[in-house]
A and B are shown apart, each in its own frame.
Chain A
Amino acid sequence: MKKRNSVIKRKTKRSPRGGSWKYLLVTVLCAVLVMAGFFLVAVQHFATVELGIKNSELRSKVEELEAEKRRLLLARETALSPAELARTAKRLGFVERELASPDVPVLAVATKPETGPTMASSEPAVERIVYSKPVADAPRVAERDRKAFDAAKPEQKPRVTVASIEKKSPADVASRSEGRPRRVAESAPKTTLNAAARLK
């Protein structure tokens, strides 16, 4: 009986010491787990921050590249603009094909003294028709206009002819001018020179 009680006593004495170790172990385990958790969270946090920084850098890189793409597009468009191409071609020695019509003012200046009241004169064309006198009847007006038209007709020729010649060559201009009446020929050389200079 006594023996049995002593056994029981021993058991009751041992159990708190064994339990405390267990508690300690569990506590340490939990602490380790918590610490590990905190550590993982911290690692994750800093990794997120690092990734965020990288993400931000990449985003700004994309934006920079897009901006660069736009700049390159702009540079390409500037280089390919018709005016720039014309300038470049001129710099390289290319000559524009002469398709344009003759230089109007030069021709007009050359023929001005001879053209009289035509549309090519520097005076307004409407002044060719004189309105200052009262018109008696239609036939008289018609006759006067016919005379005015006939008078103006031969003097329109130099302007038109020279214009058509200039499209071809300076040699043609010179040869055609020779057969003209004197006053027309006087104006022709100026035009010829101008035309030749332009074609050169």
Chain B
Amino acid sequence: MAKKNLNAKKKKTAAELRQTAFIRFMIVIAVFVVWFGGVGARLVYLQITQHEPLKEKAVSQRRDVRKSRLPRGTIYDRNGRALAISVSVKTLYADATAIEDIPKASEDIAKALKTKPAELRKVLEEAKELGRKAVPIAKGLDATEVEAIDRALDTPNLRKAGTPKYEGLFWRDSQKRSYPHGPLAAHVIGFSDAEGVGQAGIEQSQNDVLYGAVIRREQERDRLGRVYDEVVTEKAPPGDVVLTIDNSAQYFAETALAQAVRNSGAKAGIAVVIANKTGEVLALANYPTFDPSKLETIGENNLRNSAIQNMYSPGSVFKLITYSAARERNLISPKSHIDLGGGTIEVGSRRFRDSGRYGSVSYSRALAVSSNVGAIRTAMRVGKKDFHQSILNFGFGSATGIELPAETAGVVRPPERWYGDSLASMAIGYEIGVSALQMATAFATIANDGVRIQPHIIKEIRDHDETIVSAAKPAKNRVVSAETARDVREMLREVVVSGTGKKAAPSGYSAAGKTGTAWKFDEKLKRVNSAKYVSSFIGMAPAENPEVTIAVVIDEPRNGGRDGGSVAAPVFKEIADKLLPTLKIEPGNVSLTEDDSGDLIAETVGNGESLEGENEEVVATDASIDEQTEQATHQPEKKKGDKIAAAVPGGKRPEAIPKRPAASAKTKNEASRSN
């Protein structure tokens, strides 16, 4: 019985213990349930109700989004010399809200930057009031400057990733476009603005290739600001542009041109060098020029690329087209003779003169002495339509297509809008607007046996890994036959040997070319001004196998000889003297260049004189620039002596003879007064 009681008691005790344990267990469970329930409820609240703001807060604490631009593509010359290159620079920013003691910080930063602390203090205080977190303090600093500032602002006890070790300061990368050769080829290269967008020259025309895309970096940082994870949106790096420009040739052209412009007191100058067999532009120089690294030096007077953007009346250099057109039609040959008579010819209502009486001379001689009468008579034989067609075939009246912005097409009026004496005027390079590049290309065509190769300035475009993306494939077309080109070259040779271009003869090389001296069209007067000249010489060397064509145009020379033979020809010589050996061109037959002791043959200037006001000295107009609607011109017909009257083909006179605008009757005195 006792044993039974004991067992029952034991059972009871065990049951009580189990119950107690169960209760305790349940209490613990309840505590856990309440705890987890509370936590869960809080989590639900935070995750659902406070999701967005908390997420933003978390991301902003560890993640940093930075945008940076890939370096803009490089522009190279034909020999791989960099003409424009982008380099990384840094900008020092201040997080004004993170700086506690602004007066002290201003002192420290100003000391490091060597600036005035008062100004900096004012900037930082204003920024702190506005809550600005990125205030630029110093821009465009290179590595050396950055290092020096980091040293000066180093705070030893500060726990901070990156430099400078100073509270509230940080660096940001940016870019700077550099032009290591300074003003060399400035008009070709152009320049780009602070945003990395090209504003002129190749920088503008090839902006799509050179433009460095903006890349986005999402960086995750630890509490010290160290980046431990980074996601970069990759974009293709920009390409590089390789030009046909030779930096040596460009330098020779620019220095010679600048010297000539300064010496002659001229307003401006142009020099163009073209490789005849490829159409590559080796040099394209303008003066005055600018330094693309110093944007403040760029102004209206030096920004324009006159070689392609300006047109002018070429004057006698245009006789190349006249004689080429005639030779192509077998109307003349270099050795055949032409009677230049008394050196005067009247066409329509205009009288044209030569600088002397040459009588009967060969066509070579007529070109050598730059006879206006000879050129006019030759053009008359060619005829209006054929002459016009020849002009178009040489590429005048349309842009050459060179890869530079804002190229002019020039002005070539259709024959229907010519005046009675327009053919004569155009034969000697008036009533037509051309660019220096167009004129140089015409000479390069003759130098290249009559095949015109489209001038181009981009050799190739490369990918960032130097893979060639596209290479230049210039258009080629035959303008005149090889025989014509050879004969015309022979005639041009005579100009340098014994004509108006003697000063162009290079040392040790033969050359052929043509001088030109033209009255300049005056925008204010709306006609040519006989007091202002455009003097030029365009030639090729060596004469036997011309490798390069060099065009030199001097705008408004004022001092000394103002004709092309005196002003521009020596520049041609200087460029050729230095360029030809550099290009490893073998000297040719120079025996003909020995004739340099004779007189310099004066070149006739001007577009003839009007016969309407017989008692007054008259300045002729340049109607090529005037956009006027005129009736059809008429074919001049040779009359007795040297007078050629205007007449329609077939002998019928037009109902109304086209007349020049009233401005043409202004006297020279009036013109000079107007100046």
Contacts and interface: CB of A to CB of B under 8 A. Distances in A.
Nearest to B611: A135
Contacts of B355: 149
A130 B645 CA distance: 23
Contacts of A78: 180-181
A106 B259 CA distance: 13
B598 to A, nearest CB: 7
Interface string A42-78: 0000001110110110010001000110110110011
Contact of A103 (B263, B533, B599): B263
Contact of A125 (B82, B184, B563): B563
DSSP class of A's interface residues: helix, strand, loop or mixed?
A: helix
B299 interface: no
A159 B563 CA distance: 14
A118 interface: yes
Contact of B570 (A67, A83, A104, A125): A104
Interface stretch (B4-12, B220-228, B301-309): B220-228
B356 A146 contact: yes
B603 A82 contact: no
Contacts of B180: 74, 77-78, 81
Interface centre among B181, B229, B566 (most CB of A within 10 A): B566
B357 A125 contact: no
A99 interface: yes
B609 A131 contact: yes
A71 B577 CA distance: 35
Given A70-B71, A81-B184, A82-B247, A104 B617 contact: no
Given A119-B600, A138-B341, A160-B599, A124 B533 contact: yes
B562 interface: yes
B628 interface: no
B333 interface: no
B501 interface: no
Interface in B321-366: 341-344, 351, 353-357
Contacts of B227: 52-53, 56
A145 B344 contact: yes
Given A104-B566, A105-B559, A138 B641 contact: yes
A142 interface: yes
A12 B600 CA distance: 137
A118 B602 contact: yes
B602 A156 contact: yes
B529 to A, nearest CB: 10
Contact of A104 (B230, B260, B353, B605): B260
Interface stretch (B24-32, B85-93, B125-133, B650-658): B85-93
A160 B248 CA distance: 30
A156 B530 contact: no
A105 B263 contact: yes
Nearest to B344: A141
Interface in B148-207: 178, 180-182, 184
Given A81-B181, A83-B182, A138-B641, A67 B88 contact: yes
A157 B87 CA distance: 57
B544 interface: no
A138 B560 contact: no
B517 A125 contact: yes
Interface string B253-286: 0001001100111000000000000000000000
B87 A71 contact: yes
Contact of B88 (A49, A70, A102): A70
Contacts of B609: 131
B87 A74 contact: yes
A49 B357 contact: no
Given A78-B180, A122-B559, A139 B342 contact: yes
A129 interface: yes
B228 A53 contact: yes
B648 to A, nearest CB: 25
B251 interface: yes
B219 interface: yes
Given A52-B227, A74-B82, A124-B530, A108 B357 contact: no
A96 to B, nearest CB: 10
Interface string B62-106: 000000000100000000011001111000000000000000000
B595 to A, nearest CB: 11
B574 interface: yes
Given A131-B618, A159-B561, A99 B222 contact: no
Interface centre among B219, B574, B599, B614 (most CB of A within 10 A): B599
Nearest to A131: B617
B142 interface: yes
Given A67-B88, A70-B88, A141-B342, A105 B264 contact: yes
B622 to A, nearest CB: 14
B591 interface: no
A100 interface: yes
A139 to B, nearest CB: 7
Given A70-B71, A124-B530, A146-B356, 20 more contacts: A52-B227, A53-B227, A73-B82, A82-B247, A83-B182, A99-B574, A99-B577, A99-B578, A101-B569, A101-B573, A105-B264, A105-B559, A119-B517, A122-B560, A125-B563, A128-B602, A134-B614, A135-B614, A143-B342, A145-B357
Interface of B: 71, 81-82, 85-88, 142-143, 178, 180-182, 184, 219-220, 222, 226-230, 247-248, 251, 256, 259-260, 263-265, 341-344, 351, 353-357, 503, 507, 517, 519, 530-531, 533, 558-563, 565-567, 569-570, 573-574, 577-578, 596-600, 602-603, 605-606, 609, 614-618, 641-643
26 contacts: A56-B230, A67-B87, A70-B85, A70-B86, A70-B88, A71-B142, A73-B85, A74-B82, A81-B181, A83-B181, A99-B577, A105-B264, A108-B559, A108-B560, A118-B602, A124-B530, A124-B531, A125-B562, A125-B563, A125-B602, A126-B530, A129-B353, A131-B609, A131-B617, A138-B342, A152-B602
Interface of A: 48-50, 52-53, 55-56, 59, 63, 67-68, 70-71, 73-74, 77-78, 80-83, 99-109, 118-120, 122, 124-126, 128-135, 138-139, 141-143, 145-146, 149, 152-153, 156-157, 159-161, 163-164
